Amino acid sequence: MFKQRKHQLEETKFRGRCSECYQEMVLQGGRKHAQLVTRQIRTKCLGCNIFFCMPCFFNTHYYSDFFLRLC
HSE value, Cβ hemisphere, 13 Å, CA-based, for 42: 4
Q: Which DSSP state fits 6?
A: P
Each residue of 16-42: pLDDT tens digit?
Answer: 999 999 999 999 999 999 999 999 999
Q: Residue 66 pLDDT more than 80?
A: no
Q: What is the pTM of this model?
A: 0.79
Backbone φ and ψ for 2, nearest 5 degrees, come out as: -85, 140
